[in-house]
């Protein structure tokens, strides 16, 4: 008898799920379907990010206190806003730059020291506050950056932003 009862419940549960309307949402809008790009706001964890500009440089700082790139620096200008409920640290080291061939580059923290407006070495951001900064990457000359992967911490999943 218990086998019959379990089997009957399973049949009813299965039949009920067939009659239940789908909870899936409709097709994505064109804004959702395209990848986020420069000027778009994206979120990862407790931060929202907005990439505002992309530059290159062969050296940062000055003649006394500066650093020359091994290849060339890619400077990604970004606004970071704390959308959480407590202070969160933004660290440039958690960010990744991706090129057209799929190579992944880490941020250059030492170069960030010599760029006064960098704010990407380690910046504490209180809830609701924003900081504007620059994340620097030292890449081989001629590298074509196609995306940046932004993270609220080294442990987060991250979110990609197209640099094209």
Q: Residue 44 is part of a domain; what is its CATH number? A: 2.60.40.1240
> Is 157 among the domain residues?
yes
Domain assignment present for residue 99? The answer is yes
CA nearest neighbour of 69 among 78, 81, 56: 56
Q: How confident is the model at residue 33 (pLDDT cuts 50, 70, 90)?
A: low
4 part of a folded domain = no
In a domain, 2, yes or no: no
Please check whether residue 44 lies inside any domain of the structure: yes
Q: Is the dihedral of CA 114, 155, 126, 78 positive or negative?
A: positive
Q: Is residue 158 part of a domain?
A: yes
Residue 54, domain extent:
31-162
Give the global pTM: 0.77
Predicted confidence at residue 116, as pLDDT, reads 75
- How many structural domains compose the chain? 1
In a domain, 84, yes or no: yes
Q: If you average pLDDT over every residue of the chain, what do you get? A: 83
For residues 121-148, average pLDDT:
94
Domain for residue 17, yes or no?
A: no
């Amino acid at each position: 008898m218990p086998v019959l009862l379990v089997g009957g419940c399973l049949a009813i549960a299965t039949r009920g799920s067939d009659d239940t309307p789908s909870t899936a949402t409709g097709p994505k809008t064109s804004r959702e379907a395209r990848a986020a790009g420069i000027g778009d706001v994206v979120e990862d964890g407790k931060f929202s990010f907005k990439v505002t500009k992309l530059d290159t440089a062969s050296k940062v700082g000055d003649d006394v206190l500066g650093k020359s790139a091994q290849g060339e620096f890619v400077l990604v200008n970004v606004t970071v806003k704390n959308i959480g409920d407590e202070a969160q640290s933004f660290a440039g080291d958690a960010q990744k730059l991706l090129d057209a061939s799929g190579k992944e580059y880490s941020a250059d923290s030492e170069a960030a020291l010599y760029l006064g407006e960098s704010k990407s070495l380690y910046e504490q951001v209180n809830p609701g506050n924003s900081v504007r900064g620059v994340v620097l990457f030292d890449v081989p000359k001629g590298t074509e950056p196609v995306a940046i992967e932004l993270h609220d911490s080294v442990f987060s999943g991250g979110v990609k932003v197209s640099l094209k």
